[in-house]
Amino acid sequence: MKMVRTLSLLGLILSWSSVIFAVNLHGYIQWNNLCPNYGALASAKVLLDAGKMSGRVTRNGNFSILDVPPGTYVLSVLSHDYSFDHVRIDVSPSEPLPEVRPYIFGTPLLMTTSVSLPYPIVLIPRHKNRYFSPRESFNLLGMFQSPMMMIMVLTGVMMLAMPYIMKQLDPETLDGLKGQQGKAASIEKSIQSGDPKGLSALLSAGEETKASMPVAKSNTGPSTLQQRKGGKANKRR
Amino acid sequence: MCCLRQLFLVSLGVTAWALHESDVGMVDWNTKLIGVPHDSPHTAPVFHGDYVLAATNNNVLAALNATDGSIVWRSIYDAEDPIMAFSHHDNSVSSLSGPGGSTLRTYDLETGHLILEKQLHNPVDGRLHEPQNLGISLLRSTNLSLNSTAYFALTNGDSVTHLDETGDTLWTWNSPDQGSLVLYSHLIADPSTVYLVGLAKSFASYTLHVTTLSATTGELIASVNIPANIKDERSKFVAVSSQTGPTTTTCVNWLEDGALKAAVLTPDLKGQIMALPGVKYDRISDFGLSTNGQFLAIKEGGAAHVMHFDAQAYSLRPIWEFGDAAPSQVQSDSHFVGSLGRDGQPRVARVYWSNAHNKAIHQTLTINLSEGKASASGFAFPFQTFDHGVVRHVAFDGSSTGETHENTRTLLTTTTGSIQLWQHDKMQWVREEALASIQVAEFVELPEKKVVMSHAVMDEEGYFERLQRQLSDAKNLPQYLANFARRFATGSYATVTTSAASSSAEDTLTRDAFGFRQIIVAATPYGKLFGIDSSNGRVLWSRVLGLGWAAKVGGTIFPTKMFVTRTVSDPEGPQIVLVTQRRADNSLVDTVLFHVNALTGDDVREEHQSIPRDLLQGLDAVMGPLVDVFMLPNENRTIVMLDEYLQARLYPDTPSAQAEFESFVPSIHLALRTDVPGQRQILGHQLTLNLELSQFYVAYPTWSLSLPPKEEIRAIIPNTRGPVASIGKVLGNRMTLYKYLNPHLTLVLTSSPPSSTLVPAAGGVCDMQATLTENWLVYHYFDDEFSGTGESKGNRVVSVEFYEGDGPDDKTKSSELSSYSNKTLHISAYEQSFIMPHGITAISPTLTKFGVSMKDIIVANRKNSIQSIPRRLLNPRRPKHKPTSEEQEEMLVQYDAVLPDDARLVLSHNYEVATSAVSLPLHLLLESTSLVFVYGLDLFFTRIAPSGTFDVLSENFNKVQLLLTACWACGLRLWLTKPMVRRKWLRERWY
């Protein structure tokens, strides 16, 4: 009986001590380029467990939350225009100072992390809220940048420019082109008609071109030039 | 990876609707308010230079610009942290707030920047007194030797804390009896001594108790009980101090059987009690000059004496008598307020209403203490009592007084909640702060612009007459043509992002192209009804609600509900009926109806409108309180009220309404809450007529829902009204989930008391927000456990959807089922919980014309911003794996516990909007766009298109571009075909 009474007394004392024991949390906001001073931050509040306890940020960036009983808390900042990281705070009766740990919002709170943050708590503005999206305006360049428009323009240009390009080409290449076209057309025709001869011709033609191409290239180019030059020279004479 | 996914999710949400910077002020407006100022001595509004400082009923400490009435700064306090006292000193304002005055805060006067926050005691240890701020006092004193200011704070009625400028505690003194015997209420400090004066209980009356402390160390010097026999609760005692050179002399004054007695206090508290013989006083009061040695004593006949305590001669004497201050048939009770003039001499202002002049009278008393002279002069000013009720509090700027009354400034707080600044007899500005506590609000549609036709049927109309008429009819033609040309050339059309406010000079109440312009009718507990233009937030009309017979005894009108009984499509024009509870000061409660034309504020029941407008008188519909009220969905839109005996009373009570009501009776089912102590119940009722019992239909219980003992019903939230576009949801595999659309579905929020008494009451124990729309329930709460979603503490949003039967393709026709059918419980629910970074204070779904558009959830969060949460993110059927092609077809995205906190979802953008309720209109012209009106403290209005504005031209539609492209294409074709055609012609000529 006595034992029970002492135990209950002990329990009472323990519970009483846990009520009595409390820690004062202090910290400050680290001003940075995003948020240079109190004027930019405006009225902000630091919350423990979404408002169970809170402290306001004063002009010099400091805040304090007094009489925090032991437990694990999530510390967040309520600011209209800025986002801050969440921080996990552990207050234990055995430690005079609270433990501060980083906490990524949305992850399990009791995940063991070895990383410990300094105390007093330092809170850094992470980003400034941007509420607006830019307006899509009429843009002539943008209009022509769309692929549909580009294809349209390109075909148009090609259609118009084709006759002039044909004219500009020198007659031999034109002939060559025509010949090739004619060949291709005849092959097509033969394939369509199912003529095996045509096919063999195609094969032989392929071989022929393969063999003669480099030679022809090396020959034709300079020779024509020479001929032309020669022609010109003759006239002068 | 997580970030990327969030980004993707947000982009999904945002693509539908995003706000552009140029839309600010076009699609939305925001009215910042502070609330109606307190009028108790420690927290009443005061002038400080060109600022007006006020603490308000909405728990806001604010500084107003006295010249134009704009808010210089304001600081919003939490509900569990009420402002108890504030004081100003040079460039700073300090406040004591929280239970017992637990927290001291100091703000910069010009910017409102928080300089200091200091907790003086734990809020849990705060003691509550009646009145709330009794025993709390804050004093600022200048220490000349150190050239710094210091604070003396009396908190909890029993402890004094002395702090220096930086908030460091110099000393603390606690009363040995901890407030059980003596309750200190006054704190006076001179450079060496702190005087604490309070009341001590004794048999049948109160006695005074004075304690002196050393100002430097906080040590007790003396503690003495002054044998005073104070019986009157109303005016207990007044402590005044008077300064002569460096020394301050304090004198305590009280009434004993009508005789004024005084005791001059010395640090050792040895002295005599003086008595002022001959004159019998009714009450004494402090009127703002207690630090200068003056207070007010009112004689039994009603005459008011300005008393002066002369510290040099140790004498107390009346220096002025306002002989005619007694309230009578010709004049109202007077408000006395004192203030120091620019020359340091006291000024006293007296403001009262004169029935003889039908104006308010301002009287200023100029006292010259050194010469012992005083002179009074006055003027009348045209206070609009029918628009603003009765003056409740007067603040007076003594430094504005001079030889003439030209610059005399007075700040009035009225019973209708307006703050007015009068300079001489001109009103400089007025703030309608009643709007900070709107109780009920409804949207009312505006009529279309009518084309005025002057053509009447006239047979014998001559040629010239007709020509003249047609010319006059055509007077708008040039304007129309110009408009047409402009529209054609520039392509400027009305888009959803243009302002709905009418641009024309003659401001008629007509709707805009998309029906965004509506009237918001809002009722406040300050007895005033407002009609607000939803396009710009301007107050179009306002009516003061009359008290009826209760005007003789005084009373308050609390709005309960508002119904739109007629809309624009009815021939009578839009009308609203406001149902209120009138609580007279003799504790009688009545139900009063006000029936008003929503466009003008005219009384519908009154045939002839009086000009200028009188008070709006209501109809005493039910003698007694109201239990429930609803509107029948019939042609007449009859309002049915259930009185305390559960009798159904109708408005309008006409035979046709009665007949219609009788036809509805079998289908009326009501859920009412009963408050039996210890056991809360929800009882279902039906109506029946039993002429033996009553001539009215009476509700009788049909079913009951008993809650566990001690569980309290917090709120009964009905299903959000709105059209249902589809009864099912087609899945990716071509099966259909049928929505559970039981029309009787109601949400009941209950709470059990905290099991442990150690949990502090403050801190939002049961702070739950919920909304129910169609078959979708969304609720929010703070989860203290580590288990569950995210395995962390935090704000949870839970989204639940109810579908019929066991799963897809199971149909029970829930919308037509009888409530007694067993099938009503045959449902399947999908549930998903999400976490949010910040708590929310109000929640509402969006509402569109046909309900086709997606429903987003609008929340007001603790960051003082209004945010929308896309339905897509809250879909409870979001898969936990990578969506399959079937799920992708349903546009489901993978589940992520975190709801993104994206700034582009914030509707209120840069505005700081402190609110607590969201209201939505029922009638809209556009399907895509929903209007949102948010009230609470601030007013905010915006438009939201949850699925994008699909039914209007896209905002990036450009007519110039379209025209240019068309022209360009035509030109190209011409140019291309021209040679061909020419060749063809040529060939034709050849052959």
CB-side neighbour CA atoms (13 Å) of B95 = 29
Dihedral over alpha carbons B681, B685, B689, B695 (to 10 degrees): 50
Residue pLDDT, tens place only, A174-233? 787 777 777 777 777 776 665 555 455 555 544 444 444 444 444 444 444 444 444 444
Which member of A43, A83, A132 has the closest CB to residue B20? A132
Flag if B75 and A83 touch (Cβ within 8 Å).
no
The Cα-based distances of B799 to A8, B157, B349, B772, B870 in angstroms read 45, 48, 59, 10, 12
Q: Which residues of B touch A42 (CB under 8 A)?
A: 912
Residue pLDDT, tens place only, B101-114? 899 999 999 999 99
Q: Is the domain of A122 the same as that of A158?
A: no
Q: Report yes or no on A96 lying in a domain.
A: yes
Flag if B75 and A43 touch (Cβ within 8 Å).
yes
User: Which residue in B54, B89, B103, B90 sits closest to B75, CA to CA?
Assistant: B54
Q: Report yes or no on A213 lying in a domain.
A: no
> Is pLDDT of A114 > 80?
no
- d(CA A225, CA A218) in angstroms, rounded, equals 12
Q: Report yes or no on A234 lying in a domain.
A: no
Q: Are strands B575-584 and B555-566 parallel, antiparallel or unpaired?
A: antiparallel
Alpha carbon of B853: minimum distance to chain A alpha carbons (Å): 22
Q: Is the domain of A190 the same as that of A117?
A: no
Alpha carbon of A15: minimum distance to chain B alpha carbons (Å): 10
Q: Which residues of B touch A63 (CB under 8 A)?
A: 117
Q: Which residues of A touch B119 (CB under 8 A)?
A: 64, 66-67
pLDDT band per the 50, 70, 90 thresholds, residue B10:
very low
Q: Is the domain of A148 the same as that of A116?
A: no
pTM here?
0.82
pLDDT of amino acid A209? 45
pLDDT of amino acid A223? 42
Chain B contacts in chain A segment 207-236 (CB below 8 A):
none
pLDDT of amino acid B497? 61
Lowest mean per-residue pLDDT among A135-144, B68-77, B194-203, B379-388: A135-144
Lowest mean per-residue pLDDT among A9-13, B44-48, B137-141, B283-287: A9-13
Q: Which residues of B touch A78 (CB under 8 A)?
A: 838, 862-863
Q: Is the domain of A69 the same as that of A122?
A: yes
Q: Is the domain of A105 the same as that of A151?
A: no
Which member of A72, A80, A105 has the closest CB to residue B898? A105
- d(CA B84, CA B463) in angstroms, rounded, equals 79
> What is the average pLDDT value for chain B, to the nearest integer?
83
- d(CA B337, CA B350) in angstroms, rounded, equals 7
Q: Report yes or no on A135 lying in a domain.
A: no
pLDDT of amino acid B460? 67
Which member of A19, A64, A80 has the closest CB to residue B863? A80
Which member of A43, A109, A136 has the closest CB to residue B792? A109
Which member of A49, A54, A78 has the closest CB to residue B793? A49
- d(CA B126, CA B131) in angstroms, rounded, equals 14
- d(CA B172, CA B69) in angstroms, rounded, equals 40
Which member of A39, A74, A143 has the closest CB to residue B793? A74
> Is pLDDT of A14 > 50?
no
Q: Is the domain of A169 the same as that of A103?
A: no
pLDDT of amino acid A219? 43
User: Which residue in B123, B63, B101 sits closest to B187, CA to CA?
Assistant: B101
- d(CA B903, CA B867) in angstroms, rounded, equals 9
pLDDT band per the 50, 70, 90 thresholds, residue B754:
low
Residue pLDDT, tens place only, B587-625? 899 999 999 998 888 888 877 666 667 788 888 888 889
Lowest mean per-residue pLDDT among B54-58, B400-404, B574-578, B732-736: B400-404
Q: Is the domain of A85 the same as that of A162?
A: no
Alpha carbon of A98: minimum distance to chain B alpha carbons (Å): 18
Flag if A129 and B839 touch (Cβ within 8 Å).
no
Q: Is B785 an 8 Å CB contact of chain A? A: no
Nearest residue of A to residue B22, measured between CA atoms: A135
Hey, what are B38's tokens? 């307190």
Q: Is the domain of A75 the same as that of A99?
A: yes
What's the longest Cα–Cα distance across chain B?
139
For residue A207, give the 3-state DSSP assignment.
Answer: helix
List of E strands, B302-345: 304-310, 315-322, 335-340
Residue pLDDT, tens place only, B456-483? 555 667 788 888 888 887 777 888 888 7
Chain B contacts in chain A segment 68-97 (CB below 8 A):
72-74, 76, 78-81, 83, 86
Q: Is the domain of A120 the same as that of A146?
A: no
Which member of A38, A63, A109 has the closest CB to residue B791? A109
pLDDT of amino acid A232? 43
pLDDT of amino acid B634? 80
Q: Is the domain of A169 the same as that of A107?
A: no
Residue pLDDT, tens place only, B573-585? 889 999 999 999 8
Q: Domain segments of chain B: what residues?
A: 1-31+841-873+900-951, 712-836
Q: Is the domain of A151 the same as that of A180?
A: yes
Chain B contacts in chain A segment 101-140 (CB below 8 A):
103, 105-110, 129-138
> Is pLDDT of B441 > 50?
yes
pLDDT of amino acid B521? 92
Nearest residue of A to residue B497, measured between CA atoms: A135
Flag if A56 and B117 touch (Cβ within 8 Å).
yes
Task: Check if the beta carbon of residue B249 is closer than 8 Å to that of residue B239.
Answer: no
Chain A contacts in chain B segment 8-27 (CB below 8 A):
14, 18-22
Beta-bridge partner residues of B555: B584
Q: Is A202 an 8 Å CB contact of chain B? A: no
Looking at per-residue pLDDT, the higher value among A192 and A11 belongs to A192
Q: Which residues of B touch A39 (CB under 8 A)?
A: 111, 113
- Residue B652: cis peptide before it, omega within 30 degrees of 0: yes
Looking at per-residue pLDDT, the higher value among A163 and A36 belongs to A36
For residue A210, the Cα-to-chain-centroid distance in whole angstroms is: 49
Flag if B114 and A57 touch (Cβ within 8 Å).
yes
Flag if A80 and B14 touch (Cβ within 8 Å).
no
Q: B938: which DSSP letter?
A: S
Looking at per-residue pLDDT, the higher value among B723 and B83 belongs to B83
Q: Which domain holds residue A124?
A: 20-128
Flag if B116 and A58 touch (Cβ within 8 Å).
yes
Q: Report yes or no on A226 lying in a domain.
A: no
Q: Which residues of B touch A156 (CB under 8 A)?
A: 972
Lowest mean per-residue pLDDT among A6-20, A166-180, B300-314: A6-20
Flag if A131 and B909 touch (Cβ within 8 Å).
yes
| CB proximity list for B65: less than 8 A, separation 6 or greater | B50, B51, B52, B71, B72
Flag if A74 and B790 touch (Cβ within 8 Å).
no
| CB proximity list for B380: less than 8 A, separation 6 or greater | B354, B357, B359, B360, B361, B362, B425
Alpha carbon of B874: minimum distance to chain A alpha carbons (Å): 16
User: Which residue in B401, B441, B438 sits closest to B423, CA to CA?
Assistant: B401
Flag if B763 and A67 touch (Cβ within 8 Å).
no
Report phi then psi at B88, rounded to 5.
-125, 150
Q: Which residues of B touch A67 (CB under 8 A)?
A: 119, 122
Which member of B111, B793, B838 has the closest CB to residue A78? B838
Average pLDDT, integer, range B829-835: 90
pLDDT of amino acid B580? 93
Strands of the sheet with B103-108, listed across from one edge: B83-89, B92-97, B103-108, B114-119
What does R_g of chain B's alpha carbons equal in angstroms? 34
Q: Report yes or no on A177 lying in a domain.
A: yes
**Residue type for position B692:** E
Q: Report yes or no on A116 lying in a domain.
A: yes
Average pLDDT, integer, range A30-38: 90
> Is pLDDT of B518 > 60?
yes
> Is pLDDT of B569 > 70?
yes
Alpha carbon of A105: minimum distance to chain B alpha carbons (Å): 8
Q: Is the domain of A82 the same as that of A28?
A: yes
pLDDT of amino acid A1? 41
Q: Report yes or no on A106 lying in a domain.
A: yes
Final residue belonging to a domain, choices A81, A104, A128:
A128
Which member of B108, B117, B862 has the closest CB to residue A78? B862
Lowest mean per-residue pLDDT among B216-225, B377-386, B918-927: B918-927
Average pLDDT, integer, range B816-838: 83
Looking at per-residue pLDDT, the higher value among A109 and B169 belongs to B169
Provide the domain count of chain A: 2
> Is pLDDT of A105 > 90?
no
> Is pLDDT of B530 > 90?
yes
Dihedral over alpha carbons A62, A67, A70, A76 (to 10 degrees): -30
Task: Check if the beta carbon of residue B24 is closer than 8 Å to that of residue B44.
Answer: no
Lowest mean per-residue pLDDT among A192-206, B31-45, B687-701: A192-206
For chain B, give the percent of residues with pLDDT over 90. 17
For residue B898, the Cα-to-chain-centroid distance in whole angstroms is: 32
Nearest residue of A to residue B954, measured between CA atoms: A136
> Is pLDDT of A39 > 60?
yes
pLDDT of amino acid B967? 92
Q: Is B429 an 8 Å CB contact of chain A? A: no
Looking at per-residue pLDDT, the higher value among B351 and B609 belongs to B351
Alpha carbon of B485: minimum distance to chain A alpha carbons (Å): 21
Nearest residue of B to residue A133, measured between CA atoms: B20
For chain B, give the percent of residues with pLDDT over 70. 89
Average pLDDT, integer, range B949-962: 71
> Is pLDDT of B5 > 80?
no
